Structure 1
Amino acid sequence: MFGFGKKAKKPNGIDVLIIKAEEAKNRSFYQVAFPSSVANDVLSMLKKLEKSKLNKQELLGEIGGFRILTHLEALTGFDIHDDADMEAHPVEIQDFANMLLRRLESLEESGKLDDSEDFAFIMGELTMLRDGSFVPQS
């Protein structure tokens, strides 16, 4: 659309997803940053969560009902021009995963979620992202 061509993936770059949260009170969108080397896996897992029955405000809290708007690939840097606005600051994938994981774990412990293959997959992926043990699949 804007003439940006597909460029070779830079494994040492940073990818950013812009995620819109319709019902959020504190933020209307999140910028989630992660290493380009794990981009395919992170994007795949978040798309699966986006389409799942778990993507509801009553389950995920403020982020519930989210939509992935934009995927910025292999950035080598960025500047924040409004330090006072928290939406201007990207959230590290570990923090974003931890936020989602804490919410899902509390729902699971309270018995509000049924175990399913999708739920187990998402919990495993979020745990690896939170702990930094996520290994890119080639």
Structure 2
Amino acid sequence: MFGFGKKAKKPEGIDVLIIKTDEGANRHFYQVAFPTVYANDIVSMLQKLERSKVNKQEFLGELGGFRMVTHLEALTEITILDDADMEGQPIQIQDFANILLRRLEALEEKGLLDDNEDLAFIMGELTMLRDGSFVPQT
């Protein structure tokens, strides 16, 4: 019978998403690391943010205008060859989510964001990522 088999299990490991910024003051790109099992949900949420109207420098600061350029999947080891270079260090998803969320919350407090479902969804997902309570949808 087909359609009743087990779903393929995601491998254990770390994914790294390379995100390029247009006007980054200290960085030209960010490496964002997260567990492989959450990859589909995290990438999907960040794609929504990437396509949204708030992906501009006036809203997200130096992250504004970001675009995801590479997704490295299921890595078992990452070796940093230049510890002094900030761009060589992957940022944990919790820290990256915190940066984005702080900027969006500040805009919301100033009344500069329109209320819409996509933005509310993104802010909810970022909150869960920051707090470590992110549970992937199955």
Pair in the same fold by TM > 0.5: yes
Secondary structure of residue in 2 paired with 1:69: strand
Q: What CA deviation, in whole Å up to 9, does each residue of 1:97-134 have, x standing for no partner?
A: 00000000000001111111111011001001001111
- Indicate the RMSD between aligned Cα atoms, in angstroms: 0.9
CA distance in 2, matches of 1:136, 1:108: 26
In percent, how many aligned pairs have the same letter?
73
Moved over 4 A (4+): none
The answer to whether residue 16 in structure 2 is matched with residue 9 in structure 1 is no
Q: How many residues align?
A: 130
Partner of 1:3: none
CA distance in 2, matches of 1:26, 1:39: 26
Q: What CA deviation, in whole Å up to 9, does each residue of 1:29-88 have, x standing for no partner?
A: 000000001000000000000001010000001000000000000000110000000000
CA distance in 2, matches of 1:9, 1:67: 25
Residue identity opposite 1:95 in structure 2: D
Partner of 1:121: 121
Gaps of 5+ in 2: 1-8
CA distance in 2, matches of 1:44, 1:110: 27
Partner of 1:59: 59
Partner of 1:92: 92
Partner of 2:137: 137
CA distance in 2, matches of 1:132, 1:40: 17
Residue identity opposite 1:72 in structure 2: L
Superposition TM-score, scaled by structure 1 size: 0.92
CA distance in 2, matches of 1:76, 1:95: 21
CA distance in 2, matches of 1:118, 1:137: 16
The answer to whether residue 113 in structure 2 is matched with residue 79 in structure 1 is no
Shift of 1:9: 3.4
1:36-47 matches, cutoff 5 A: 36-47=36-47
Secondary structure of residue in 2 paired with 1:33: strand
Query: Looking at CA atoms only, which structure, 1 or 2, has the larger radius of gyration?
Result: 2
